[in-house]
Amino acid sequence: MNQALLINQRNPDGVDPAAFQKYFVQFGRFTAGTAIHYSQSDLVSSGKHQDLATGQTIGMRFHSAKVTRHADAKPMHLGHSIKADGRWHILAFAGEQSFMDNNCQVKALCEFLQNNPLSPIQRFTPNGADIDEMITVQAVFQASHREVEVDDIHPLLQPSKDRYGLTDYEKVYSAICEGTSFYDKRGIDKENGCIIIVRPDQYVADVLPLNDHDELTKFFEAVLNPVS
């Protein structure tokens, strides 16, 4: 912005507050430190499938928006569920398939992650630890939270955790919140859905098709060491 536009005409030695506010908002992401864009590496993919989530730029901070948590119908930012606690995050965004039916690719992904010896959860979770100790898995569906039956949710999305084996119900969300959809706000492919891998620092590492279990496995093989 031309510095002349910031000059308060009534106070040549000062700054027009309105112009300064507009300038600050315009470049707010730089001010907040969230405009960093990491280049390709083991921690950032080439962006081959970026078109599945056009509003989540690979190599940049995960761009949050509101969803509805299934367990208690609470509107909340999806980004607030991704804690910077050293864990990796797999976010599964469902396509047009019916919730948890035989064709549901989120269900197939959960089956792979929980039960296949090649899955990153099986290979990189320490023995005796909670199933989400290293990698958390959450799912977002296009259906309203009222249309999702708790008994139909895959066990990976309702794990028993901690010393008392309490069930974690806070891993399933509806994309619909307050009349809008997360998919519309963040460019998620409604027909196919996608996987978004979020790094521990809350930056997007990769976007993958829901059924690309091989690439998901290869990504984590490059960044984590299997347990002995």
Same domain, 87 and 189: yes
17-52 as b/e, with b when 16 or more CB fall inside 10 Å? eebeeebeeeeeeeeeeeeeebeeeebbbeeebbeb
CB-based contact 138:90 (threshold 8 Å):
yes
Is 44 found in the same domain as 15?
Answer: no
Q: Print the domain residue range for 31.
A: 1-35
- Check whether residue 202 and residue 179 sit in a common domain: yes
CATH number at residue 182: 3.40.30.20
Residue 228 lies in a domain: no
Residue 147 sits in the same domain as residue 58: yes
Domain membership flag for residue 179: yes
Tokens of 76: 């909340």
Query: Is 199 among the domain residues?
Result: yes
pLDDT tens-digit map of 151-199? 999 999 999 999 899 999 999 999 999 999 999 999 999 999 999 999 9
Tally of domains within the chain: 2
Helices (H), 84-195: 105-115, 120-124, 182-186
pLDDT per position as a tens digit, 76-134: 999 999 998 999 999 999 999 989 999 999 999 999 999 999 999 999 999 999 999 99
Within a domain: 213: yes
Residues 52 and 100 in one domain: yes
Indicate whether 51 and 63 sit together in one domain: yes
Give the global pTM: 0.86
137 and 30 part of one domain? no
CB within 8 Å of 15: residues ≥ 6 apart: 6, 7, 8
How close are the terminal C-alpha atoms of the chain, in Å?
56
